[in-house]
């Protein structure tokens, strides 16, 4: 079993927690329209026992076959009700784990796949979350991800710096300027395949994104 967490006790902000759940429910159709092609590619064949880090309201469950066992690592309780409804509608066998990604309460080598989208930007310690993902994956298991990342120097990078503090406050710690690709490459996976793409949106700070897979 993983060691006990040394992180502080979870206390999601009751206002921002509810607002984020509502915001992502409202924007789900728009976000899926923009990301569906990338999700179909990286989630293809994902099944068996799956852990999703930061499952939110459950938008990724549509890409999993009915009957898939999903362990949702989701510390924000204000997402749980919508997440459970989505899982029931999709025929997914869901267990919600209200723990941080830095301290996942699953056994070593216990899942076939791990997925996450727009999560590593928000966590306290991305390297520790990636360590946990690597730990719970079985040998040969696959990690599939989409993340917004630091843009090259230019207009988008300037916008990321300009909104850094209010953006982090509004979106529960989200940082738009992390070099997540480098962190994934450094996490000890046997192979990593990453594609950078532009998220065509009025939300300028998140236009630079990556999608990919890593195999343990």
pLDDT in tens, 113-128: 999 999 999 999 999 9
pLDDT in tens, 82-108: 999 999 999 999 999 999 999 999 999
Kindly tell me if the per-residue pLDDT of 24 is higher than 90: no
On the CB side of 71, how many CA atoms lie within 13 Å of its CA? 20
Residue 95 vs residue 202, higher pLDDT: 95
- Residues 183-191 have a mean pLDDT of 98
On the CB side of 59, how many CA atoms lie within 13 Å of its CA? 23
Kindly tell me if the per-residue pLDDT of 35 is higher than 90: yes
- pLDDT in the model for residue 11: 61
> CA-CA distance, 108 to 126, in Å (whole number)?
19
pLDDT class of 156 with cuts at 50, 70, 90: confident
Residues 6+ apart with CB under 8 A from 96: 55, 72, 74, 80, 83, 84
Q: How many other C-beta atoms lie within 10 A of the C-beta of residue 158?
A: 13
Of 13-17, 112-116, 204-208, give the lowest mean pLDDT range.
13-17
Kindly tell me if the per-residue pLDDT of 2 is higher than 50: no
pLDDT class of 200 with cuts at 50, 70, 90: confident
């Amino acid at each position: 079993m993983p060691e006990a967490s040394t992180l502080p006790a979870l206390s999601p902000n009751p206002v921002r927690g509810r607002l984020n759940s509502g915001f992502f429910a409202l924007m789900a159709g728009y976000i899926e329209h923009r990301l569906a092609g990338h999700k179909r590619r990286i989630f293809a064949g994902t099944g068996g026992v799956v852990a999703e880090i930061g499952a939110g309201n459950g938008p990724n469950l549509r890409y999993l076959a009915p009957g898939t066992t999903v362990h949702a690592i989701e510390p924000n309780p204000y997402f749980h009700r919508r997440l459970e409804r989505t899982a029931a509608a999709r025929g997914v066998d869901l267990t919600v784990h209200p723990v941080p990604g830095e301290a996942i309460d699953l056994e070593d080598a216990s899942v076939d796949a791990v997925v996450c989208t727009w999560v590593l930007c928000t966590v306290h310690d991305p390297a520790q979350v990636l360590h946990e993902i690597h730990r719970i994956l079985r040998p040969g298991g696959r990690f599939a991800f989409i993340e917004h990342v630091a843009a090259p120097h230019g207009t988008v990078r300037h916008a990321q710096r300009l909104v850094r503090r209010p953006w982090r406050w509004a979106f529960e710690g989200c940082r738009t300027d992390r070099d997540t690709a480098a962190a994934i490459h450094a996490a000890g996976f046997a192979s990593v395949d990453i594609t950078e793409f532009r998220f065509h949106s009025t939300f300028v700070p998140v236009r630079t994104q990556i999608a990919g897979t890593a195999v343990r």
